[in-house]
Amino acid sequence: MKNFKRLLKLALPYKSKFLVAMLCMLVVGVATSSLAFLIKPALDDIFLKKDVYTLKWLPVAVILIYLIKGVCSYSQTVIMSFIGLRIVNQLRNKLYEQMQKQSLAFFSQHPTGILMSRITNDVSTIQFAVSEAVTSLLKDTFTLVGLIFVIFYRDWRLALIAMIVFPLTIYPISKFGKKMRSVATSTQITMGSLTSILQETISGTRIVKAFCMEKYENERFAAENERLFKLNMKSVSVSAISSPLMEFLGGLGIGAIIFYGGYNVVKGHSTPGTFFSFLAALLMLYEPIKRLTNSNNTIQNGIAGAERVFSIIDRVPDIEDQPGAVNLPPINRSIDIENVTFCYEKKPVLKKINLSIRAGEVLAFVGMSGGGKTSLVNLIPRFYDVSEGRIAIDGHDIRDVSLRSLRGQIAMVTQQTILFNDSVRNNIAYGDIEKNDHEIINAAKAANAHDFIMKMPKGYDTNIGELGTKISGGEKQRLSIARALLKNAPILILDEATSSLDTEAEMEVQDALDNLMKGRTTLVIAHRLSTIRNADRIIVLVNGEIVEEGDHETLMRKKGEYFRLYNLQFKDEGSDDKNDRLAKDMG
């Protein structure tokens, strides 16, 4: 119940509204009880004694009771729905903010579809628990208390007989509640897996079709969907059995009461009005008890969802600002990588790296796939933290400066261009949302993107589709470069920025990259060695270690690893296919 208490604490800012809703629920409970109370005068005074005065006021009282009950029921529903939806709104925001704080390692460990399911499905179950189940819990409890008062007031002996049945209901309610929480947890996990499959296959539909894997994906989806069906059926079975069981137990009590109460009426110890008022209250009593059982099931679902949501909200990010973190001034001296070792899932990826990069220097990293090039540059913006050693910018350990000031000085252009389902203008402005249209256009021109943008249907207002599906690879990359230009950061990371482009597109993009690199400290992960011949220094990485460094001519004269890689890639310049294959092997 710890997580449910946390949910209720989220309602504290709305305690005044909550008190009004509780007052309305109390009125609903009293009104419901009053209807049962009025059955005695209806039978004894009107039908048996033929009292005209009672005949006049009783219908008016019933109408007023239903009117008051309706108004209060409407009010409490609206108020509690507001509180529930507002809590869900806050939880979604907190959950999303917490996800944004997590490191890249977190997203590697949690599939996208499962994280999406946490924000959508799990939070929705919490909404029902907070608004609907809590409402039912309070309203039906008030109704229950009112009706219990009526039955004891009418006939305490009959009431005691009815109360014998109540303890019998406690065990099944508790048993079903535990079962529902277990099933709900499994259901939500399966829904996350289903969402993950859906996200993967929709985003990767081109690969699915290219490899004729539609049948395989259909079967994979159907298998997970069948598992979800079985869990849902189990949930339905558990939920469905609770109501008939409650009715059966209630029937036992009612049967005994009809016999005993009828016997008293026949013998003249009680009036028909008293007995039927009691019986009506008793019959009305079992309805809120059944609803409370269903509310318990809903609350258990909500608790299961809350456990999964709070597991992320409570997660401490792997990468975060240290206490007392300072802002990093603009780089003017160097980036120093000192004795750095980095392990990913306990496996060493980089080993004892020592490297000093001068401000304004163009540094290229080359090596076979898996050599540690991307891992090394990912340490500089603190996408991951070093396992040993340190990285310093102008003498400041990057762990001692704020992430915002560190990453604010770094722009990136990667092989996998990430664009958003938005306009060209907004995608470029992502580099700095404070910049005006004139600066956005200048960035596009410098990235050789302005001309193709102006040929688009709405120019800079054209929507480029999800992940930029409406434009070519070269156009995507130039928009990515324009975004980096607009950011105007002093440190630039180019992670195989032209590796996926054809020759013509590569030439256009390379020209834009040359504009981007001017005056910046640039770290280039090289795919095609021809693109880094003019780098100030080239670092050759093998199995996470630096084996060579120097400019192109120096390394070629050494005839070491760089020379081998260069010749491997260019020994047959006439074969584009071979070059492309070798380039891919270079990673």
Is 210 part of any domain? no
Question: How high does pLDDT run on average in the chain?
Answer: 80
Domain extent, residue 482, equals 420-488
Tokens of 187: 């259901």
Sign (positive/negative) of CA torsion 62, 67, 70, 76?
negative
Looking at the structure, do residues 150 and 296 belong to the same domain, yes or no? yes
Sign (positive/negative) of CA torsion 108, 112, 114, 118?
positive
Is 380 part of any domain? no
- Count of H-run helices and E-run strands, the chain: 22, 10
Instruction: Read off the pLDDT band of 311 (50, 70, 90).
Output: confident
Q: Which pLDDT does position 390 carry in this prediction?
A: 93
* Residues paired with 542 in a beta bridge: 545
Distance of CA 101 to CAs 26, 98, 321, Å?
44, 5, 10
Among 459, 488, 517, the domain boundary falls at 488
Query: Minimum mean pLDDT among 81-85, 289-293, 449-453: which range?
Result: 289-293
Distance CA 217, CA 232 (A): 22
Is 334 part of any domain? no
Instruction: Read off the pLDDT band of 572 (50, 70, 90).
Output: very low
Is 112 part of any domain? yes
The pLDDT tens digits for 172-192 are 655 666 666 677 677 767 777
Q: Which pLDDT does position 584 carry in this prediction?
A: 40
Residues in Cβ contact with 541 at an 8 Å cutoff, skipping those fewer than 6 apart: 365, 366, 367, 371, 372, 373, 376, 547
Residue 307: which CATH number?
1.20.1560.10
Tokens of 401: 């400066």
134 pLDDT higher than 50: yes
Is 395 part of any domain? no
Is 390 part of any domain? no
The pLDDT tens digits for 191-245 are 777 777 776 776 666 667 666 777 878 888 888 888 888 887 877 777 667 666 6
Among 488, 512, 547, the domain boundary falls at 488
Looking at the structure, do residues 165 and 34 belong to the same domain, yes or no? yes
Give the pLDDT mean for 258-270: 70
What single-letter amino acid sits at 83?
I
Q: Decide which of 318 and 157 is more confident.
A: 318
Is 351 part of any domain? no
Q: Which pLDDT does position 577 carry in this prediction?
A: 45
Q: How many CA atoms lie within 13 A of 130 on its CB side?
A: 33
The pLDDT tens digits for 502-522 are 566 667 677 777 777 888 898
The answer to whether residues 151 and 159 touch, using CB atoms and an 8 Å cutoff, is yes
Among 279, 313, 347, the domain boundary falls at 313
Counting every residue, how long is the chain?
587
Residue 429: which CATH number?
3.40.50.300
Give the pLDDT mean for 301-317: 83
The pLDDT tens digits for 387-399 are 999 999 999 999 9
Number of domain units in the chain: 2
Q: Which pLDDT does position 580 carry in this prediction?
A: 46
The pLDDT tens digits for 325-361 are 899 988 888 999 999 999 887 888 899 999 999 998 9
Is 500 part of any domain? no
